[in-house]
Amino acid sequence: MDEKIIFDELNGEEPNNQVHIDRMLYKVGKLEREIEKIEDSIIESKEFYERRIDAIKKQIHARELMMESYAMSQLENGIKTTKLPNGTLRIVNRVKKTLPDDDILLKYSYANSIATKVVKKPDKKSIFEYIKETGDVPDGYDETDVVSFSFKTNKTN
């Protein structure tokens, strides 16, 4: 980007004093509010389409219930799969397996000599506290000063 940017709030002047910088802050605040308005429009539009999608999903669900009822009636005749020009209806029987929580499974595994996994990872908060208290650091530890710039605009109309 080689071309020089002209800031309309400076009337073509170079920013070289607090008045110019304050004008820039005012302009940035105005631009931020413009973004907020656009984001609000996006949210409103998104909500509209989400409501539309929900209405369509309800239509699909109602049809799904009717098709399931038909497929179940076919199953009574021994037919698990019905192929049609626009799709296929299928009834599948399967066993859903649900395990209890990990504590129960660990006890069960230990009692029956079933392999278990142990996951270990360092507690970084404790490591930082240890370094702060002792000054002793692990190999590969590094500290870097980072300078950053930020600004905040005041909310105005």
What pLDDT score does 2 carry?
47
Judge whether 114 and 96 are in contact, CB under 8 Å. no
Give domain status of residue 36, yes or no: yes
Of residues 152 and 127, more confidently modeled: 127
Residue 126 in any domain: the answer is no
102 closest CA partner among 117, 120, 123, 122: 117
- Map residue 86 onto helix, strand or coil: coil
Output DSSP code: residue 112: T
| Domain annotation covers residue 154 | no
Mean per-residue pLDDT for 28-56? 92
Helix (H, G, I), strand (E, B) or coil at 91: coil
In a domain, 30, yes or no: yes
Helix or strand run (H / E) with residue 83: strand 81-84
The answer as to whether 69 is a domain residue is yes
Three-state secondary structure string covering 118-129? CCCCCCHHHHHH
Query: Domain range holding 39?
Result: 8-96
For residue 28, being part of any structural domain is answered with yes
Q: Number of structural domains, the chain?
A: 1
Kindly state the percentage of the chain with pLDDT values over 90: 32
**DSSP SS3 for 12:** coil
Spatial separation of the C-alpha atoms in residues 41 and 143, rounded to whole Å: 44
* pLDDT (average), residues 104-110: 90
The answer to whether 25 and 151 are in contact (CB under 8 A) is yes
Q: What local confidence, expressed as pLDDT, does residue 32 receive?
A: 92
Q: Is residue 80 part of a domain?
A: yes
Residue 72 lies in a domain: yes
Q: How do residues 45-103 score in pLDDT, each as one tens digit?
A: 999 999 999 999 999 999 999 999 999 999 899 998 998 888 899 988 887 888 888 88
* Residues in contact with 115: Cβ distance below 8 Å, sequence separation at least 6, in sequence order: 109
Q: How far apart are the first and last CA of the chain?
A: 33
